[in-house]
Structure 1
Amino acid sequence: MKENFARRGGRSRPAPVAPRPAPPEPGALAAKVRTMAPSMTRSMQRVAETVAGDPAGCAALTVTGLAERTGTSEATVVRTARLLGYPGYRDLRLALAGLAAQQASGAAPALTTDISVDDPLGEVVAKLAQDERQTLADTAASLDVAQLEAAVTAMAGARRIDVYGVGASSLVAQDLAQKLLRIGLVSHAHADPHLAVTGAVQLRAGDVALAITHSGRTVDVIEPLQAAFDHGATTIAVTGRPDGEVTQYADHVLTTSTARESELRPAAMSSRTSQLLVVDCLFIGVAQRTYASAAPALHASYEALAHRHSPRDAGR
């Protein structure tokens, strides 16, 4: 969550400061690098990508040695370690040693290679499957469970839930909204930015607005979330950029894995995989919290759909 002063209900208020999270476990280091690298400076990216690509070699280097290997400075190495969640370089080295041991034992898979135009179709299938697995693992590793719990609590007690997304993210928004409708919650997915803002200004305390944007800077998603925030609704952002503009108006931020874009696989495809995982986590959490009402509502929706698909109705 951004540490800023945002207007709500005509008053300024500081966003609460979250407790400092524990350093990532060794197995989550590569996921953290993939999530944070796009928002780093180029010199910090070199450090982050080098340690993720060769944890064993980097674990043996001093801070000076890693700075020389990456063509950066000792200060850049230390700043990179801290941005990745480690108090200092010594803690990062310990994590690198742990990651190297996991990779040596086969517990931590190596990064997948890009798909090339000459790859046989069977190899494409294998690479895509591995990339999907890695995307899900990265998202699970970087997801803040405390933020997820808070988002679930807000949604479970909400009078109304509006979901915003455009492009590929609009498909994810629609998926969440229809899931919530099936357990009896009032939910709307707005892909049209005008309708989204129109609905957002009607929200109040007790309502929830949820924005889905991988880049964290999609204006058509940020504007309605800001409007909902200003009118007192609880706001949630699902984004691949925890430092993106959308988080300025989010009470709760759920981070997805950063997509590995290539010529043959646009970022939208792999980012949607991680977004769908977060959506499923939200839905299951809400269904658990509202089980007494969710179970009969879900049963009723199954019955209604089963009737429509009944063979007796074929041809009618």
Structure 2
Amino acid sequence: MAQSNSVEIRIRDAKPTMTRVEKTVAEYVEPRLATVKSMSIKQLAHNSRTSEASVLRFCKTLGYRGYRDFILSLSAALGSDESVAEERRYTDIRPGDDLATIIENVSFNNRRSIEETLSVLDKEQMARAVMLLCAAPRIDWYGLGASGIVCADAQQKFMRINKRCQAFVDGHSMQTAAALLKSWDVAVLVSNSGTTAEILDALELVRAAGAKSIALTRYSKSPLALGADVVLRISTPEVTFRSGAMGSRIAMLNLVDILFSGVASAQYDEIKEYLERTHDALSSRHRE
């Protein structure tokens, strides 16, 4: 994937939760990336009719340490790809597409969801998440709808390595489970928007119980992201209502695979017996 998109992706994903002034900076920067890379913070503030403090807040909202970090990232990205304008874009479900087109479009969208998520993924946060999951005596997964499917997939994977792990996919069961957590337990809360009421209610109970929380979500400034101990961001535009949550689901499933592989690798000597036993059990059933 073209690296230059990583800056555009950060702006696109952060805009819904930006302040009014930060959006003003974003709207100036988005169509002028190549020009902005040569500007000082003073020039950008003047040209966007904001202030240097506002530009700095804009950079930090995008996840950069400061203005210099933002410009270095932008310059490196633009230098690595001169054909951004010609890049193919996400395509939604359209009436009358032939099957070959549908196969190509859906596969392209799924690949881009994973690639764009990797471009914004914080590896330090991922390392913290793996560490917490390794140490947890109990792991809960909370999610509704398509996010619940992600939770069910996680439960199936972590059960294979003998982790006490369960998926909860409705509000009442989430709240009941969260209220019973202990301080060493971990709850993974899955929500694309980070604003789902049931998920936020569960997060409040997780925190009250003293347990650790990991958020899988799109927006870094959502209530879920701001309240969780660890945040694993995805990045994927849901093109319109037609395609539903396909992109976010694929991106989240990929993060689940990374988490599972990270835990399994870190504890391989302890869990290899369980992997072998579950593999043999399933293989023997398939032979019958």
Give the TM interval when normalised to the shorter protein: 0.7 to 0.9
Farther off after superposition, 36-45 or 115-124: 115-124
Correspondence list, 1:44-193, <5 A = 44-45=22-23, 47-48=25-26, 51-60=29-38, 72-74=49-51, 76-86=54-64, 89=67, 91-104=69-82, 110=87, 112-115=89-92, 117=94, 120-121=97-98, 122-193=100-171
SS in 2 for 1:271: helix
Deviation at 1:192, TM superposition (A): 2.2
User: TM-score, normalized by length of structure 2?
Assistant: 0.84
User: Residues 80 and 206 of structure 1: is their aligned pair in 2 closer, same or farther, counting only changes over 3 Å?
Assistant: closer
Q: Deviations over 1:107-137 (max 9, x none)?
A: x983615437367444444343333222212
Q: Which amino acid aligns with 2:119?
A: A
User: TM-score, normalized by length of structure 1?
Assistant: 0.78
User: Residues 220 and 130 of structure 1: is their aligned pair in 2 closer, same or farther, counting only changes over 3 Å?
Assistant: same
SS in 1 for 2:81: helix
Equivalent residue for 2:187? 209
Work out which of the residue numbers 152, 167, 178 in structure 2 matches 1:200: 178
Q: Distance in 2 between matches of 1:89 and 1:119?
A: 47
Deviation at 1:153, TM superposition (A): 1.3
Unaligned runs of 5+ in 2: none
Farther off after superposition, 287-296 or 93-102: 93-102
User: Residues 192 and 115 of structure 1: is their aligned pair in 2 closer, same or farther, counting only changes over 3 Å?
Assistant: closer
Work out which of the residue numbers 9, 12, 32 in structure 2 matches 1:31: 9
Q: Tell whether the 8 Å contact from 1:51 to 1:96 is kept in structure 2 after alignment.
A: no
Q: Tell whether the 8 Å contact from 1:47 to 1:80 is kept in structure 2 after alignment.
A: yes
SS in 2 for 1:288: helix
Farther off after superposition, 113-122 or 127-136: 113-122
User: Residues 65 and 272 of structure 1: is their aligned pair in 2 closer, same or farther, counting only changes over 3 Å?
Assistant: same
Q: Which amino acid aligns with 2:250?
A: T
Q: Deviations over 1:237-279 (max 9, x none)?
A: 111122121234422111111434324323x211112111211
Unaligned runs of 5+ in 1: 1-24
SS in 1 for 2:213: strand
Q: Tell whether the 8 Å contact from 1:163 to 1:177 is kept in structure 2 after alignment.
A: yes
Q: Tell whether the 8 Å contact from 1:34 to 1:257 is kept in structure 2 after alignment.
A: no
Equivalent residue for 2:260? 283
Deviation at 1:73, TM superposition (A): 3.1
Identical-residue share of aligned pairs (%):
31
Work out which of the residue numbers 221, 244, 248 in structure 2 matches 1:271: 248
User: Residues 125 and 65 of structure 1: is their aligned pair in 2 closer, same or farther, counting only changes over 3 Å?
Assistant: farther
Q: Distance in 2 between matches of 1:211 and 1:82?
A: 24
Deviation at 1:179, TM superposition (A): 0.4
Deviation at 1:308, TM superposition (A): 1.9
Q: Tell whether the 8 Å contact from 1:158 to 1:206 is kept in structure 2 after alignment.
A: yes
Q: Distance in 2 between matches of 1:82 and 1:149?
A: 22
Higher helix share: 2
Q: Distance in 2 between matches of 1:308 and 1:159?
A: 29
Deviation at 1:90, TM superposition (A): 5.5
SS in 1 for 2:153: helix
Farther off after superposition, 108-117 or 166-175: 108-117
Q: Which amino acid aligns with 1:201?
A: A
SS in 1 for 2:240: coil
Number of residues of Structure 1 aligned to a counterpart in Structure 2: 284
User: Residues 90 and 182 of structure 1: is their aligned pair in 2 closer, same or farther, counting only changes over 3 Å?
Assistant: closer
